[in-house]
Amino acid sequence: MVIAIDGPAGSGKSTIARKVAEALGFTYVNSGNLYRALTLRALRSGVAIEDPAALLACAAAARIEYRIGRLFLDGVDVEDSLHSAEVDALVAQVSALPPLRDIVNALVRRIAGSTDAVVEGRDMTTVVFPEARLKFFLDASPEARARRRFDQGVSGASLEEIQKNIEMRDEIDRSKSVGSLKIAPDAEYLDSSHLTIQEVYDKVYAKILLIREDHGR
């Protein structure tokens, strides 16, 4: 069984997806972090983001794996480096490259294909797992999302800079020729701007239990 969750940056989907996966005993797959890992690899390798061929070669050579819930890139734990200001500023451009999206989507399908999984990203419900039984789209205003990122303290940028990056990323994500950010017609939509994480989780988990009961699971 696959539970797919989409939404813009900072909407709370990563936290919710992780909590749901832990509650159900499912595997948690964060597709956004895979793009962030490839962006980080390009930055550390000195690869120009504007050079598609070099970027694809860099991505194809990457070794990505999960160990006890943490992401390892080329054998090194990079979980705490994925939300730096440098990665934030470039990850949308990296993820907009269609051949690179194919690399990540294949990886996500491989991980989720052999187990029950909660997957989250930008196009999990529309492109990667359009047949998923359970689909959610978590949303929030740019202001609310920027405040959440700022309060996390993982970026050295100011609140204003974070919001600017979020709004820029929203525009890029919604304008992609492939895998653009949009709401699947059969996805449950939830605006979390004025909700706590627990309130969002309760709503999502209640819906999951209802659907599972309807399907006899």
Stretch 110-118: mean pLDDT, rounded? 86
The whole-chain average pLDDT of the chain stands at 90
112 found inside a domain: yes
23 found inside a domain: yes
Domain containing residue 16 = 2-31+84-212
pLDDT tens figures, 31-88: 889 999 999 999 999 999 999 999 999 999 999 988 877 899 999 999 999 989 899 8
206 found inside a domain: yes
123 found inside a domain: yes
40 found inside a domain: no
Q: Is the CB of residue 24 less than 8 Å from the CB of residue 205? A: no
Q: How many domains does the chain have?
A: 1
CATH at 145: 3.40.50.300
The CB-side HSE value for 182 (13 A sphere, CA atoms) comes to 13
pTM for the complete prediction?
Answer: 0.81
Percent over 90 (pLDDT), the chain: 65
The Cα 172–Cα 167 span in angstroms is 9
pLDDT tens figures, 139-180: 999 999 999 888 887 777 899 999 998 999 899 888 887 788
Question: For the chain, how many helices (H) and strands (E)?
Answer: 8, 8
Residue 37: which of 117, 100, 114, 128 has the closest Cα?
100
Strand order in the sheet with 117-121: 27-30, 117-121, 2-6, 134-139, 188-191
pLDDT tens figures, 177-203: 778 899 999 999 999 999 999 999 999
Report pLDDT for 217: 52
Helices 98-113 and 52-60: angle between axes, nearest 10 degrees: 20
pLDDT tens figures, 77-107: 999 999 898 998 899 889 888 899 899 999 8
Q: Is the CB of residue 141 less than 8 Å from the CB of residue 193? A: yes
